[in-house]
Structure 1
Amino acid sequence: MRRFTRTLVAAALAATVVAGTAGWASGSSQQPVTGAPVGTDAWRAAGLPDPERMTSGQTAAYFRSLSPQRQRELAAAHPTVVGNLDGAPLALRYAANARSAGARFAGQQVLAYDPRGRGQAVLVFGDLARAAHVAVIVPGSDIDAGNLGPLSRKADALLAATGGRTAVVAWAGYTTPVGVGLDAATGDLAEAGAARLTRFTEGLTAVGAAEPSVFCHSYGSVVCGLAARGLKAKDLVVLGSPGMRADNAAALGTSARVWAAKDPTDWIDRVPFVEVAGLGHGTDPTAPEFGARVIDAGDALGHDGYFAPGTTSLRTFAAITEGVAR
């Protein structure tokens, strides 16, 4: 009976404390943005292939069958579709999103932009088409198209730590929780995000980009845990994680190397690492029984300090991205 009571208490705590980047603020319920890109009805009406019926590989093959002139015509006529099609040529997506996003991301390489809800965006730092090594950063709570600064700074820091030799993708491509509330304590938003992340990495493969190392912060690690089985990645790195909805690394079902970091000052350590009746996200990925490769994060500060310049964690992230960490 005492153990059952402790479990109920832990579950109640998980409902209010689990992973987010906004600290201890309460959260509000979010509806995930899913489905075909904005403008798909007009695309279909023009007799073009249904985006929801094509894999990323089929999308890539379709665009390869078109002349460069026809590709540009489609990007001009249907920018919100072309800009969000995983498997479409990278340069074409950048051009389409420059048109649909307007001045909002002036001068940046925007690989995806969806204005629905709070907005989603995917930014690229470096030359994704030619880089031998690629990193994708998946954020936690409160990141959206209107609040990309914290995620962009992480991407900038990782790019600098590799000496600019890589490409880094800031992937705000899912509906994140707002603050800390039931959304952050449950897996609904993560499930929707996992499907989008999986398709995104498939799209990278389809256009010939290097297989990425995927870095998953806070609630983003829940997304990555649920996506792991289908994720096209060589490394899966979680930091400040509330759990990955898996008992151990083997249960993730991935061939990627699994890494985990948690600094001693991170408030995430006060989260009960349980999963009961859909609340909480399970085992601490840095626990020995989980079986991940643990990254030294002793000089990172707080929940958001893992990418701080000069930290051991950032140096290790750079080594992982470049394939030299063991």
Structure 2
Amino acid sequence: MKGRIVLLLAAASLTMGAVVVQPTAPIRISAGERASAVAVLHDLAGAVGSGDAAVSAAANRIVARDALRAAPADVARWWSALPARTAATLQRDAPGVIGNLDGLPYSVRDAANRTALQRTVAAVGDQLTNGSGRGAALALSARLTALQQVQTALQQPEGGPARFLVSLDPVHASRAAVAIGDPDLAEYVDFLVPGMFFSVRDQIVDWTDTAADLQAEQTAWLQRLHRAGQAAVISWIGYTTPDAVSVLGIGDAQDGARRLADAVRGLTAARPSSDPFVAITAHSYGGTAALVALQSHAMRVDALAMVGVPGSPAAHASQLDVPAGQVYAGRDAWDPVARSSYFGVSPTDQTFGSVALGTGSGVDPITDAQLNSAVGHNGYFAPGSQSLRNLALIGIGEGALVTRDGSEGTLAFAAP
């Protein structure tokens, strides 16, 4: 009930009047940031010769600042040049840094982040046990709860695909990402980007379950269409999503855009010898963040699917770094957030140039299965819905099979 009330308040705020969002400046990592980050990484590796304590101290300084913006391509080159013993030492003694470096193999990041998670949970638990002031205890308890929720999200159901801890903020537990399926090997990788009111503590488990539903639907369609390959979906709470006040501004979207661009380019850098199909599936304010990144040309993806988005800073799909015809948008007729167009033109408007993504009920023209309608702002990912079906197909490069709503429950293919 509380979540519904907050959503209604946010929707009311968004419908009070649209804002004019100026075209975003490039959000690429600057030359100065690149040089500084490379120097920091070389210093970290150099600390290995001074002993474990020196490595841990250097790593703690990096993690505490949370200001290292390294270009993923630079990270990949740095890592590949390290002696095996140095790399192993850094994984052991600097897991909070290694696990969050975009451009490293996801198997390396997963192992490092799991180490950081385990150690931090134990350390925070000890602090609570040993006693602290009331205010500090409340903050520690909230942090511990968030980290324990990450542990829950990582639990792999019997027979299900492997899960990878792609990123983790061990200091504040405000950001985390869990992959369903192996992003090092999958032919199709989809970043699932959330909107407002999402936090690691309250939503990482549910958002990871949503990623699992999407990955399962993608896998089912790959099998149904006799397509080879595996799919991986990343439950990406990689930015601080807006609350009821900050949702009225573009600042959180710009921060999310920078972090999302780094994550997507990190995938490319980590897999130089392969070329996976990369998609973004974005919900609500997360769509605005993705649009900011793609309009600034800080990253390129093979497909973009958006549902429930409150407006685009780009006036037309052609302004995005996405191939022509691979931008999809849908909304439920009763979704007040999507109807607000608060941040610019609605991606579902014909003038925007996206492909319509059906969200209503009807019969699947391929399987003859009855598909359910998305209901409201948070219903787009329900299993058995037309919207989840369409989002899954977009994520595996089968956008030509996406359906749009028709009359009297009939569904037609959306592409011309």
Tell me if both proteins adopt one fold, taking TM over 0.5 as the criterion. Answer: yes
Equivalent residue for 2:209, pick from 153, 157, 163: 153
Instruction: Give distance in 2, aligned partners of 1:219 and 1:313.
Output: 18
Alignment of 1:119-268 (within 5 A): 119-147=174-202, 148-163=204-219, 165-178=230-243, 180-181=244-245, 183-208=246-271, 210-228=276-294, 229-255=297-323, 257-268=326-337
- Offset at residue 43 of structure 1 (A): 8.2
- Offset at residue 251 of structure 1 (A): 2.7
Structure 2 counterpart of 1:265, one-letter code: W
Instruction: Give distance in 2, aligned partners of 1:267 and 1:130.
Output: 39
Identity %: 30
Equivalent residue for 1:77, pick from 71, 93, 110: 93
- Offset at residue 70 of structure 1 (A): 2.6
- Offset at residue 232 of structure 1 (A): 2.9
- Offset at residue 68 of structure 1 (A): 3.7
Q: CA offsets, 1:118-137, max 9 Å, x none?
A: 61001110111111111110
Alignment of 1:38-117 (within 5 A): 44=43, 47=46, 52=68, 54-102=70-118, 104=148, 105-106=150-151, 107=155, 108-117=163-172
Structure 1 counterpart of 2:114, one-letter code: A
Structure 1 counterpart of 2:103, one-letter code: G
Contact 2:208/2:235, CA 8 A, preserved across alignment = yes
* Partner SS for 2:91: helix
Q: CA offsets, 1:272-301, max 9 Å, x none?
A: x2xxxxxx3000110111110110011111
Contact 2:238/2:256, CA 8 A, preserved across alignment = yes
Q: Residues 269 and 92 (structure 1 numbering): CA distance in 2 closer, same or farther, change over 3 Å?
A: closer
Partner of 2:18: none
- Offset at residue 57 of structure 1 (A): 0.9
Q: CA offsets, 1:183-225, max 9 Å, x none?
A: 1121101111111110111100011162411011000011001
Instruction: Give distance in 2, aligned partners of 1:43 and 1:172.
Output: 29
Contact 1:43/1:78, CA 8 A, preserved across alignment = no
- Structure number with higher helix proportion: 2
* Partner SS for 2:253: helix
Equivalent residue for 1:323, pick from 397, 409, 413: 397
Instruction: Give distance in 2, aligned partners of 1:263 and 1:127.
Output: 32
Kindly indicate whether structure 1 or structure 2 has the higher relative contact order, using CA contacts under 8 Å at least 6 residues apart: 1
Instruction: Give distance in 2, aligned partners of 1:94 and 1:260.
Output: 32
Instruction: Give distance in 1, aligned partners of 2:375 and 2:177.
Output: 26
* Partner SS for 1:162: helix
Cα RMSD for the two superposed structures: 2.9
- Offset at residue 64 of structure 1 (A): 1.4
Question: For structure 1, which runs of at least 5 residues remain unmatched after alignment?
Answer: 1-19, 28-34, 274-279
Q: Residues 289 and 116 (structure 1 numbering): CA distance in 2 closer, same or farther, change over 3 Å?
A: farther
Q: Residues 60 and 268 (structure 1 numbering): CA distance in 2 closer, same or farther, change over 3 Å?
A: same
Contact 2:99/2:110, CA 8 A, preserved across alignment = yes
Q: Residues 217 and 21 (structure 1 numbering): CA distance in 2 closer, same or farther, change over 3 Å?
A: farther
Q: CA offsets, 1:229-262, max 9 Å, x none?
A: 2223100111100012121212335436211010
Partner of 1:311: 385
- Offset at residue 41 of structure 1 (A): 7.7
Equivalent residue for 2:353, pick from 275, 291, 310: 291
Contact 1:72/1:92, CA 8 A, preserved across alignment = no
Partner of 2:8: 24
* Partner SS for 1:142: coil
Instruction: Give distance in 2, aligned partners of 1:153 and 1:264.
Output: 25
Contact 1:63/1:89, CA 8 A, preserved across alignment = no
Q: Residues 188 and 323 (structure 1 numbering): CA distance in 2 closer, same or farther, change over 3 Å?
A: same
Contact 2:191/2:234, CA 8 A, preserved across alignment = yes
Q: CA offsets, 1:12-56, max 9 Å, x none?
A: xxxxxxxx99512469xxxxxxx99xxx98984663799947421
Instruction: Give distance in 2, aligned partners of 1:21 and 1:304.
Output: 13
Q: Which has the larger radius of gyration?
A: 2
Instruction: Give distance in 1, aligned partners of 2:352 and 2:301.
Output: 19
Count the aligned residue pairs: 289
1:281 matched to 2:343: yes
Partner of 2:365: none
